């Protein structure tokens, strides 16, 4: 075990930190502007739509990175929150611009004559926007509370999230009379803010909204992970027992961060739904939720930029591969899983960092999300964990 850890000075001067933060904010705004203004000129409408979808998936990846990369909770069920956000917005779009007293079309197929009670509040846009965030957050918080309270963690937690996913899938899939079951809710022909959702103006509107949401969520995650809260998350990941012995209750932190992550996924789900034109229980497919995890792993865990990068790159690779060789995609994805856990555990960002090391932070004008000393401590914690496991 390394005795003399090369601990770097953690607290840089306030002025320097502020300057770095400003530069980072500048870069984020610049990238957002490029995405909003330049990309529509470069890409065709179809491709731009795809990019918008990938960016909304990058928002989920941010949420996953928050709980997995920083806190060490591997959720295999984020599809739940993604779908809840999507359903919330889609329900509003079903109801809006509907003549009074009329029901969305699919209800008549199942002989439902009055609107189910939980649809009622979705007539209102403010409620919908709130519900998009709050419902996934509440579901995640409740689930997290029931699980973390009992110190269930690690593989058990992952398996339970997967089971929850299957349960939600079954529920949404089976309830034709409540939410149209397997067929899901279509949004392309609905009208939002006086325009058709599937039309070109609205598409560009949602694309811009996605870019802005992504930037905001990046700022939120950056804020959450940089201060004391962020250090607590990392501490929980690396040694939960020690956190507990120091007088903190890890469960409440975990519940909070899981709820935040769920809310982020909800926003992403809503944006994805309006851009793809449909939300169906397929969004709660087991494979889709695990795929979200691999985006983060490919980009690099515990680096927010890695999550975004990974989500976009993997999805681009997916589109290109499945356009040309549909059979190969699953092989490729499987190989990606194996490669990322065995050969490239730190993902693309980690690899770049280890290759180009110190020169990079200077390039981006800020300290990396995981400073060198954290990486060092991680290594140590890893060897420690291995030893602990061997002790059992």
Q: Where on the chain is the footprint of another protein (CB under 8 A)?
A: 68, 72, 74, 76, 146-147, 149-152, 154-156, 158-160, 162-164, 166-167, 170-171, 173-174, 241, 286-287, 290, 293-294, 297, 327, 330-331, 333-338, 340-343, 345, 382, 385-386, 389-392
Nearer residue to another protein within complex by CB, 45 or 154: 154
Classify burial at 71, counting beta carbons within 10 Å of its beta carbon; exposed 0-12, middle 13-18, buried 19 or more: buried
Least distance from C-beta 126 to another protein, angstroms?
A: 31
CB nearer to another protein: pick between 123 and 332: 332
The CA angle 302-264-353, to the nearest 5 degrees, is 20
- Minimum distance, C-beta of residue 330 to another protein, in the bound complex (Å): 4
Work out how close the CB of 342 gets to another protein at its nearest, in angstroms, rounded to a whole number: 6
Contacts with 274 (C-beta within 8 Å, 6 or more apart), sequence order = 89, 93, 187, 192, 197, 202, 206
Q: How many residues are there in the chain?
A: 392
Nearest to another protein of 87, 92 (CB atom)? 87
Q: Which is nearer to another protein, 325 or 364 (CB)?
A: 325
With tokens 């059992």, the residue in question is 392
- Closer of 12 and 182 to another protein (Cβ): 182
Q: Would you say 187 and 283 are in contact if contact means Cβ atoms under 8 Å apart?
A: no
How far apart are the C-alpha atoms of 184 and 12, rounded to whole Å?
A: 52
Which one, 32 or 381, has the nearer CB to another protein? Answer: 381
Q: Does the CA dihedral 381-231-142-88 come out positive or negative?
A: negative
Min dist. Cβ of residue 352 to another protein (A): 19
Question: How far is the C-alpha of 235 from the C-alpha of 254, rounded, in Å?
Answer: 11
The smaller minimum CB distance to another protein, of residues 157 and 253, is found at 157
Helix (H) or strand (E) holding 346: none
Tell me whether residue 45 or residue 174 sits nearer to another protein (CB atom).
174
CB of 118 to another protein, least distance (A): 15
Half-sphere exposure of 22 (CA within 13 A, CB side): 6
Report the DSSP beta bridge partners of residue 185: 279
Two tokens, residue 116: 């189910």
Query: Least separation, in Å, of the C-beta of 119 and another protein?
Result: 18
Minimum separation from the CB atom of position 354 to another protein (A): 15
For residue 248, the minimal CB distance to another protein (Å) is 15
Strands 278-279 and 185-186: antiparallel
Q: How many Cα atoms within 13 Å fall on the side-chain side of residue 106?
A: 17
């Amino acid at each position: 075990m390394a005795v003399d850890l090369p601990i770097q000075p953690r607290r840089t001067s306030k002025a320097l930190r502020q300057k770095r933060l400003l530069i980072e904010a500048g870069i984020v705004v610049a990238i957002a502007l490029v995405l909003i203004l330049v990309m529509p000129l470069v890409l065709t409408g179809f491709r731009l739509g795809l990019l918008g979808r990938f960016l909304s998936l990058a928002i989920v990846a941010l949420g996953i990175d928050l709980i997995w990369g920083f806190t060490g909770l591997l959720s295999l069920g984020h599809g739940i929150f993604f779908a809840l956000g999507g359903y919330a917005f889609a329900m509003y779009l079903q109801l809006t611009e509907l003549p009074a007293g009329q029901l969305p079309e699919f209800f008549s197929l199942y002989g439902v004559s009055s609107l189910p009670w939980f649809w009622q509040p979705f007539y209102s846009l403010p409620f919908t926007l709130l519900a998009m965030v709050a419902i996934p957050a509440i579901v995640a918080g409740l689930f997290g509370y029931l699980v973390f309270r009992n110190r269930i963690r690690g593989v058990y937690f992952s398996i339970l999230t997967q089971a929850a996913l299957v349960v939600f899938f079954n529920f949404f899939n089976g309830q034709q009379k409540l939410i149209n079951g397997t067929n899901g809710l279509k949004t392309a022909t609905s009208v939002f803010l006086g325009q058709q959702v599937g039309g070109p103006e609205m598409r560009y509107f949602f694309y811009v909204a996605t870019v802005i949401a992504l930037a905001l969520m990046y700022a939120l995650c950056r804020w959450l992970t940089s201060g004391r809260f962020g250090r607590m998350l990392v501490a929980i990941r690396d040694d939960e027992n020690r956190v507990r012995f120091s007088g903190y209750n890890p469960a409440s932190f975990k519940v909070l961060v899981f709820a935040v992550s769920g809310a982020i996924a909800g926003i992403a789900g809503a944006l994805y739904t309006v851009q793809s034109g449909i939300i169906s229980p397929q969004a709660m497919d087991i494979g889709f939720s695990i795929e979200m995890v691999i985006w983060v792993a490919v980009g690099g865990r515990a680096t927010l930029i890695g999550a975004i990068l990974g989500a976009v790159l993997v999805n681009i690779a997916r589109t290109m591969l499945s356009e040309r060789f549909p059979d190969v995609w699953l092989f490729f994805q499987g190989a990606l899983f194996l490669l990322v856990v065995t050969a490239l555990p730190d993902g693309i960002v980690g690899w770049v960092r280890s290759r180009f090391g110190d020169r990079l932070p200077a390039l981006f004008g800020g300290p990396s999300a995981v400073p060198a000393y954290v990486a060092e401590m991680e290594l140590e914690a890893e060897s420690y964990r291995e030893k602990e496991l061997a002790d059992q």
